[in-house]
Amino acid sequence: EVQLVESGGGLVQPGGSLRLSCVASGFLLSEYSMNWARQAPGKGLEWVSYSNSGSSVIHYADSVKGRFTISRDNAKNSLYLQMNSLRAEDTAVYYCTRGRPTNYLDYWGQGTLVTVSS
């Protein structure tokens, strides 16, 4: 059974940093592209970042470019999102998702809440 479990969310002050983790099970991370998506409270979905299976192709939404870094450790079957210079508008539930060809997202984690507030 495919599972994605995120962790690392919490309360952080504006300008601070946080690192999210996502542990995958039921499949080999090394064989799939992966994404982070987010959802602000009461709002819609926003794609945040993409990594192909070998980390040779990485993309970011304009809203996080230069502040967030996606990475993976295929040996640990884990995906990460390093978030720096956090802003109030980054407050959201962050989801780890598996990407398929053309990047439809077939599996999602349960999400981890990041709150940026003083």
Partner 1 sequence: IQLTQSPSSLSASVGDRVTITCRASQDISSYLAWYQQKPGQAPRLLLYTTSTLQSGVPSRFSGSGSGTDFTLTISSLQPEDSATYYCQRLNTYPPWTFGRGTKLEIK
**18 - beta bridge partners?**
83
Q: What CA–CA distance (Å, rounded) separates 40 from 50? A: 19
Q: Which two tokens stand for residue 24?
A: 């995958």
CB closer to partner 1, 31 vs 118: 31
Binding residues with partner 1: total (CB under 8 A): 21
Q: How far is the CB of 77 from partner 1 (least distance, A)?
A: 19
Question: 15 or 40: whose CB is closer to partner 1?
Answer: 40
**Cβ-contact 63, 38 below 8 angstroms:** no
What track of x and - describes contact with partner 1 for positions 69 through 108 (by CB under 8 A)? --------------------------x----xxxxxxx-x
DSSP code of residue 109: -
CB atoms inside a 10 Å sphere around CB 112: 22
* Residues near partner 1, by CB under 8 A: 35, 44-47, 50, 59, 61-62, 95, 100-106, 108-111
